[in-house]
Structure 1
Amino acid sequence: MSAAVHGPVAEVRGLTKGFDGRVVLDGIDLTVRPGEIVALVGRSGSGKSTLLRVLAGLSDDHTGEVTVQGTPTVVFQEPRLVPWLSVTRNVALGDPQRRRRKAAEARAARVLGEVGLAHRADAWPLTLSGGEAQRAALARALVAEPTLLLLDEPFGALDALTRLTMHDLLLRLFDEHGFGVLLVTHDVAEAVTLADRVLVLEDGRIAATVEVDLPRPRSHASPEAAVYSARLLELLGVETGTEDLLRQP
């Protein structure tokens, strides 16, 4: 983490935002602390990604109070790598001091080692697998030493085995760095596997909060995790066994 943080890394009070006369976020209150993973689940259009973009500073047309300590960084579902730059130079783009190119690339090389991608440092983005590309995107977020890591369905396009590997990587980095995490996901099992708290968004409001009181590492297939998943599916109005509905765009 870039600096010691006292209190929440993100705090939102009464956040309201609309588009074309439609309210997307309606009086949201939210707190994310250092060393905490908070997941947001909800149907498409419930306001999950909009809330994340506000916290990232990518959307400022809103009312209410939004406070973020330190540096927030974002990883999207698409890696969004620049195809004509090497993996190292792509990662260096996330460094606030990237104009000092040699130093930024040295820091990028270090972070690539952390995410297990040092052997692809000189590769071109189009030669990467889906998992490798997301590792590069994660490294680009980490090189800024964030206090708050914002994840917008970053594993949604990956195959099941690669997704589990990325879960393990995220948790290892989370333990090592101590940043706060806000994860937007359609996958209830993923939320239960990773998060300390799961917030259910409905019509722009936080309709429910579920505390996941299970030690890590967790298996989403365990009976204990299944109880939490079933509870979240119930809150989302989805019958147990139809979770795939939540993963559709």
Structure 2
Amino acid sequence: MPRFALVTGASKGLGAVLATFLAGRGDDLLLTARDEAALTERAESLAEFGVDVRAVAGDVADPDHRAVLGEIAAERGALDLLVNNASALGPSPLPPLSAYPLDEFERVLRTNVVAPLALAQAVLPVLREAGGLVVNVTSDAAVEGYPGWGGYGASKAALDQLTRALAAEETAVGVVSVDPGDMRTDMHRRAFPGEDISDRPLPDITLPFWAWLLGRDPLDVTGRRFEAQAERWEA
């Protein structure tokens, strides 16, 4: 049976690049994102690879949507890969913490911390069945104190710690966090409104890393935090 992967935030940017990579290697896919039109277009473009692609639009912060994704994964019986890529940037332009709207901060935490854990909880039984891998997409803002990035960075720092703890608890599933690095994406355009970010690389620059990571035994890499644009990686 082909490998089966669930990718969130899969309609564009890094999620779309990763979904295409997975389809190209023959994986069946369950894709989700909030933009239904863009998600449907992405799923249809992957049909040429001859894999089974199911696209379910929705917000990962919505418990009902996560329940649907969990049910689909359970019906398959085994899940080889969960990529928690969907993220909320927060207000744009990025405000200082002294003026950060707390309702927006709560939304960022729901999307970037609560949702990845909740989705992992929903699919852990089928991940264990497959000896699968959870990938939580993080950021250098989790380890550096950039002005304006406090809300987003705090959420990703929490996600990194969640990743380490879950990896220590799970004996049959690998759990890693991945910082993809600075890239030319819609999120980065929103983070720097009015600025030229054409010098940033496209998300395709991370493809060598994904080929490397997904060629490893999940338990050989579990608990690690990787930088996708680093010169080399070690298991």
TM-score by length of 2: 0.35
Tell me: higher relative CO, structure 1 or 2? Use CA pairs within 8 A at least 6 residues apart.
Answer: 1
More strand by share: 1
Q: Which of structures 1 and 2 has the bigger CA Rg?
A: 1
